[in-house]
Structure 1
Amino acid sequence: MNETTAAPARHRPTRWWTILTALAVLGLASRLIGLSHPTDSGTPVFDEKHYVPQSWQVLRGGWFAGVGGIEDNPAYGLVVHPPLGKHIEAIGLAVFGDTPFGWRIMSALCAVGVILLCAAVTRRLMLAARDGATAGAGAAGAPADAAAVAAADWAGLAAGVLALCDGILFVTGRSGMLDHFQVFFVVLTVYLLLRDHAQMEARFRRVAAEGRMADSSAGPRLGYRWWRFAAGVTLGCAVAVKWSGLYYIAFFGVAVVGIDWWRRHRFGVRQPLRGTLGRDCVPAVASLVIVPAMVYILSWRTWFSSETSVFRHEAEAGNERIAGWGLDFLPDSWLNFLYYHLSVLDFHEELTNSNGHHHPWESKPWDWIASTRGLLYYSQTSDTTGDKEVVLLTGTPVIWFLAAPVLLWGLWRLAVRRDVRWAVPVVGYLAGFLPWLLNVDRQMYLFYAANLAPFIVIGLGLLLGRIATWSLRRPDAAAGAGRLTAFWLRRTGYALGGIYLVLVVAVFLFFLPIFTGMPLTHTEWQLRMWLPGWT
Structure 2
Amino acid sequence: MPARLSHPAFAALLIALAAQLLFSINLARPSKPVFDEVHYVPAARTLLTLERPANIEHPLLGKELIAAGMAVFGDNPIGWRAASTLAGTATVTGIFAILMLLFGSVRTASYGAAFAVLGNTLYIHARIAMLEPFLAAFVVGGVAALLWAMRSPPDRVTRRWVLGAVLLGLATAVKWTAAPYIAFASLAFVAIRARRHDLWPGLAAAKGVILLGVISVAAYAVTFLPAFFYAQDAMTPGGLIPFQFEMYARQTQVLSPHPYQSGWMTWPLELRPIWYLYEPVDGAVRGILYVGNPAIMWGGLIAVGWLAWRWWTTRDARAGAIALLWIASLAIWAVIPKSLGFYYYYYLSGIWLCVALPAAFHLRAHGERDSAMFWFGCIALGLFAYFYPILSAAALPSDQAFNHWMWFDSWR
Aligned equivalent of 1:451: 348
Q: Deviations over 1:318-362 (max 9, x none)?
A: xxxxxxxxxxxxxxx34432332222211122135xxxx211111
Cα distance in 1, alignment partners of residues 56 and 179 from structure 2: 19
Cα distance in 2, alignment partners of residues 224 and 403 from structure 1: 32
Aligned equivalent of 2:382: 506
Runs of 4+ displaced beyond 6 Å: none
CA contact (8 A) 2:108 2:358 kept: yes
CA contact (8 A) 1:369 1:403 kept: no
Q: TM-score, normalised by structure 1?
A: 0.71
Cα distance in 1, alignment partners of residues 102 and 205 from structure 2: 24
CA contact (8 A) 2:189 2:205 kept: no
Alpha-carbon distance change, 89 to 383 in structure 1, aligned in 2, over 3 angstroms = closer
CA contact (8 A) 2:307 2:323 kept: yes
CA contact (8 A) 2:44 2:67 kept: yes
Aligned equivalent of 2:405: 528
Determine whether 1:101 maps to 2:78: yes
Q: Residue 435 of structure 1: SS of its match in structure 2? A: helix
Cα distance in 1, alignment partners of residues 323 and 228 from structure 2: 39
Determine whether 1:287 maps to 2:211: yes
Q: Deviations over 1:435-462 (max 9, x none)?
A: 2112576212122111112211011111
The residue type equivalent to 1:280 in the other structure is: A
Question: How many angstroms does 1:13 deviate by?
Answer: 5.8
Cα distance in 2, alignment partners of residues 413 and 468 from structure 1: 13
Cα distance in 2, alignment partners of residues 399 and 421 from structure 1: 20
CA contact (8 A) 2:358 2:373 kept: no
Question: How many angstroms does 1:497 deviate by?
Answer: 1.6
CA contact (8 A) 2:96 2:109 kept: yes
Aligned equivalent of 2:151: 198
Aligned equivalent of 2:19: 27
Q: Residue 286 of structure 2: SS of its match in structure 1? A: strand
Q: Deviations over 1:91-114 (max 9, x none)?
A: 110111000000001011110111
Question: How many angstroms does 1:470 deviate by?
Answer: 8.2
Q: TM-score, normalised by structure 2?
A: 0.91
Cα distance in 1, alignment partners of residues 352 and 52 from structure 2: 33
The residue type equivalent to 1:35 in the other structure is: L
Q: 2:100 aligns with which of 123, 126, 142?
A: 123
Question: How many angstroms does 1:506 deviate by?
Answer: 0.8
The residue type equivalent to 1:346 in the other structure is: A
Q: Residue 402 of structure 1: SS of its match in structure 2? A: helix
Q: Deviations over 1:468-492 (max 9, x none)?
A: 5588xxxxxxxxxxxxxxxxxxx5x
Determine whether 1:87 maps to 2:40: no
The residue type equivalent to 2:257 in the other structure is: H
Cα distance in 2, alignment partners of residues 71 and 465 from structure 1: 51
Question: How many angstroms does 1:12 deviate by?
Answer: 4.6
The residue type equivalent to 1:380 in the other structure is: E
The residue type equivalent to 1:336 in the other structure is: G
Aligned equivalent of 2:171: 238
Question: How many angstroms does 1:364 deviate by?
Answer: 1.6
Cα distance in 1, alignment partners of residues 21 and 121 from structure 2: 17
Q: Deviations over 1:390-431 (max 9, x none)?
A: 111011111001122211222233344222223543343234
Q: 1:413 aligns with which of 303, 310, 317?
A: 310
Question: How many angstroms does 1:71 deviate by?
Answer: 4.5
- Point out the more displaced range, 255-264 or 14-23: 14-23
Determine whether 1:158 maps to 2:111: yes
Determine whether 1:346 maps to 2:223: no
Q: 1:360 aligns with which of 252, 256, 259?
A: 259
Cα distance in 2, alignment partners of residues 444 and 521 from structure 1: 32
Q: Counterparts of 1:487-506 in structure 2 under 5 Å?
A: 493=370, 495-506=371-382
Q: Counterparts of 1:417-436 in structure 2 under 5 Å?
A: 417-436=314-333
> What percent of counterpart residues are identical?
24
Cα distance in 1, alignment partners of residues 281 and 230 from structure 2: 46
Question: How many angstroms does 1:514 deviate by?
Answer: 0.8
Aligned equivalent of 1:207: none
Cα distance in 1, alignment partners of residues 188 and 170 from structure 2: 19
Determine whether 1:187 maps to 2:178: no
Q: How many aligned residue pairs are there? A: 408
Alpha-carbon distance change, 467 to 423 in structure 1, aligned in 2, over 3 angstroms = closer
Q: Counterparts of 1:106-505 in structure 2 under 5 Å?
A: 106-127=83-104, 152-199=105-152, 225-264=158-197, 280-309=204-233, 312=235, 333-352=236-255, 357-381=256-280, 388-439=285-336, 442-469=339-366, 493=370, 495-505=371-381
Q: Residue 369 of structure 1: SS of its match in structure 2? A: helix
Alpha-carbon distance change, 441 to 90 in structure 1, aligned in 2, over 3 angstroms = closer
